């Protein structure tokens, strides 16, 4: 016999004989059973015992079975309700189904009809619960993915910030020295024509270096900003310029030579510029990790003659990836850091972002021969 002990059934009927028979029949099958002689007391019991299934007669004095059905669904829509009706009352049975009853059975009630109806009600209840649990799981997955996306960005931001501090410090020191030099010259001597020209050169240097600092900080702030996904037109060349600008100093510190070949006159693509920037920064950092002794990094972009997609290619001369690891590098938490290549959560994030943009990312690599990541993004009106 199946175990029905987890299933609590409330039976409501104004005929005591029917209640006694139903209670005995269901208890013998292992169900927990509670009975009520009318709709009002049945509804009160429903609030107290929280049954999974209610079996109610349609015609009862006072509160009818249809009224019980409506009240139970207001109390808890997940409770399954089976109505009992005379054969001649098919219109009431149909009305009950329209009010979300799971089934109806006709009197006199046979054991076979009762258990078949209970089986259907249990399947309906279980299926709905599974769907609700799966919906909650998907919602949590979406929330977790958003959190992972932000955490990954913050990790990249920390590494960028450490590099940018040094990059900004150099021009700021130069600016400060030029300003001090000009102040001392002004204090000692009146300005002559030759000095005025020299000051103009100094001021041009101060202006250009200040502008460079401002641009670096602006790019860093834009990258760090936590914002919801926002699809819009993205200029690929502008995006890549920002990424290389933010990474330039770190590449120089690691003795990595950066070369670029950005095809001009790209059409805009539709995408989230912030997320796509996160992808490129991640791939540049992976390339830096792969070249601990220095090397070369090449980034190019192309708009293909078929006019359907653009390609961004990032190639390094690093340690490469073993062939048996290539199928796994986009899996969350997969890493080969102990072998010298910095992949892990970042690449699964990159894969998710590119997939969300209806794009594709591929990797080509050989140990000791470097690695190439190829991103293909569609040129469409929307993603």
Over range 197-219, report the average pLDDT: 72
Domain boundaries of the chain, sorted by first residue: 8-109, 229-383
pLDDT band at 157 (very low <50, low <70, confident <90, very high): low
Contacts of 368 (CB under 8 A, 6+ apart): 319, 320
**Radius of gyration of the chain from Cα atoms?**
36
* CATH 3.30.230.10 is right for the domain spanning 229-383: no
Measured in degrees and rounded to the nearest 5, phi and psi for residue 81 equal -120, 125
Pick the closest to residue 240 from 379, 361, 375, 343 (CA basis): 375
CATH architecture assignment, domain 8-109: 3-Layer(aba) Sandwich (3.40)
10 Å CB burial of residue 153 (0-12, 13-18, 19+) is buried
Over range 21-34, report the average pLDDT: 88
Q: Which two tokens stand for residue 215?
A: 């641009």
pLDDT tens digits for 365-378? 988 889 999 999 99
Do 101 and 69 meet the contact criterion of CB atoms below 8 Å apart?
yes
Could you identify the residue written with the tokens 């101060």?
206
Pick the closest to residue 374 from 275, 304, 324, 292 (CA basis): 304
Q: Give the 3-state secondary structure of residue 34.
A: strand
What per-residue confidence (pLDDT) applies to 343? 37
User: How many Cα atoms within 13 Å fall on the side-chain side of residue 64?
Assistant: 10
More confident residue, 72 or 92: 72
What per-residue confidence (pLDDT) applies to 261? 92
What per-residue confidence (pLDDT) applies to 383? 40
Do 247 and 240 meet the contact criterion of CB atoms below 8 Å apart?
no
pLDDT tens digits for 213-268? 766 666 566 555 555 567 889 989 888 988 888 788 788 888 999 999 988 878 88
Could you identify the residue written with the tokens 């059934």?
9
* Separation of alpha carbons 89 and 73, rounded Å: 22
Given a cut of 60, whether residue 340 has pLDDT beyond it is no
């Amino acid at each position: 016999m199946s175990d029905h002990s987890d299933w609590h059934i409330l039976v409501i009927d104004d005929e005591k004989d029917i209640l006694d028979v139903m209670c005995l029949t269901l208890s013998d099958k292992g169900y927990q059973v509670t009975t009520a002689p009318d709709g009002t007391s049945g509804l009160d019991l429903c609030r107290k015992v929280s049954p999974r299934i209610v079996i109610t007669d349609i015609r009862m004095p006072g509160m009818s079975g249809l009224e019980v059905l409506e009240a139970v669904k207001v109390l808890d829509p997940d409770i399954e309700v089976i109505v009992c009706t005379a054969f001649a009352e098919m219109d009431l049975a149909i009305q009950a189904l329209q009010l979300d009853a799971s089934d109806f059975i006709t009197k006199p009630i046979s054991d076979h009809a009762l258990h078949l109806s209970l089986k259907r009600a249990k399947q309906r209840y279980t299926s709905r619960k599974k769907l609700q649990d799966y919906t909650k799981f998907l919602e949590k997955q979406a929330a977790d993915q958003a959190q992972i996306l932000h955490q990954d960005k913050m990790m990249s931001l920390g590494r960028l910030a450490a590099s940018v501090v040094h990059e900004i410090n150099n021009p700021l020191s130069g600016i400060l020295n030029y300003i001090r030099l000009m102040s001392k010259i002004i204090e000692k001597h009146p300005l002559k024509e030759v000095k005025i020209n020299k000051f103009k050169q100094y001021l041009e240097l101060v202006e250009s270096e200040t502008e460079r600092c401002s641009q670096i900080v602006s790019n860093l702030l834009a990258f760090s900003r936590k914002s919801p996904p926002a699809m819009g037109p993205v200029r690929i060349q502008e995006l890549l310029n920002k990424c290389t600008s933010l990474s330039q100093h770190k590449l120089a510190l690691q003795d990595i030579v950066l070369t670029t070949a950005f095809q001009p006159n790209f059409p805009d693509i539709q995408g989230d510029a912030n997320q796509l920037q996160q992808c490129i920064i991640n791939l540049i950092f992976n390339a830096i990790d792969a070249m601990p002794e220095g090397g070369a990094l090449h980034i190019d972009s192309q708009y293909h003659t078929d006019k359907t997609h653009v390609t961004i290619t990032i190639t390094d001369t690093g340690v490469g990836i073993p062939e048996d690891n290539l199928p796994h590098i986009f899996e969350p938490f997969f890493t080969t850091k102990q072998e010298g290549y910095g992949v892990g959560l970042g690449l699964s994030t990159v894969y998710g972002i590119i997939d969300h943009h209806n794009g594709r990312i591929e990797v080509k690599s050989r140990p000791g021969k470097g690695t190439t990541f190829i991103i293909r993004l569609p040129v469409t009106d929307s993603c």
